Amino acid sequence: MSRSRSFGAFTAVGLATVAALVLWANSEGRRWQREDLPRLRLLVTRLDLTDLALWTEARYTRHPSQTDLFSAFQDFPAAPEHFPSGSITGPPPALRGTGETSGVRVGRP
């Protein structure tokens, strides 16, 4: 077999492996959506959960969506940052200067 044919065969096997892994992954994703997702969503609804339990070292990493508006220094001014998750989690939308927190208004009623 010529070298170009060997390379063609290698590429074909590689592409077939990638395709097989992608098909397997997508079928696993569909199985999760069919079997686990309804039960997990019920859990979220019953316990009124709002965040993923990924980072437990600080309030603003455990519940990024419920965090204070100035969460980076919430422990005390110039508090040391919790690296690296503090740099992994981006600032919440409310801090991006778009005024996304609902109903904010100026002045006292």
Partner 1 sequence: MRRHFRILDFALASLRRRRLKNWAIVAVYAFTVTIVSSVLLLTNAIRQEAALLLVGAPELTVQRVVGGRHAPIAVEVTETIATLPGVVEAQPRYWGYTYDAVTDSTITVIGAGPGSAELEMVEGRLPEHSTECAVGAGVAAMWGAEVGGEVILIDASTTGVLYEVVGTFAAPSDILTNDLVVMTGDEAALFLGLPEGWATDLAVRIANPAEVDTIATKIKRAFPDSRPITRSEVLRTYDAVFHWRSGMMLAMLSGGLIAFAILAWDKATGLSAEERKEIGILKAVGWDTGDVLELKMWEGVVISVTSLLLGLIAALIHVFLLGAPLLTPVLRGWSVLFPELHPVPHIDPYLLVSIAFLTVVPYVAATVAPSWKAAITDPDSVVRG
Region 18-47 residues binding partner 1, contact defined as CB under 8 A? 18, 21-22, 24-26, 28-29, 32-33, 36-37, 39-47
Q: Determine contact, residues 34/27, Cβ cutoff 8 Å.
A: no
Q: Determine contact, residues 90/65, Cβ cutoff 8 Å.
A: no
- Kindly state whether residue 75 participates in binding partner 1, applying the rule CB under 8 A: no
Phi/psi-derived region of residue 99, left when phi > 0, alpha when psi is between -120 and 50, beta in every other case: left
- Kindly state whether residue 72 participates in binding partner 1, applying the rule CB under 8 A: no
CB of 78 to partner 1, least distance (A): 16
- Kindly state whether residue 9 participates in binding partner 1, applying the rule CB under 8 A: no
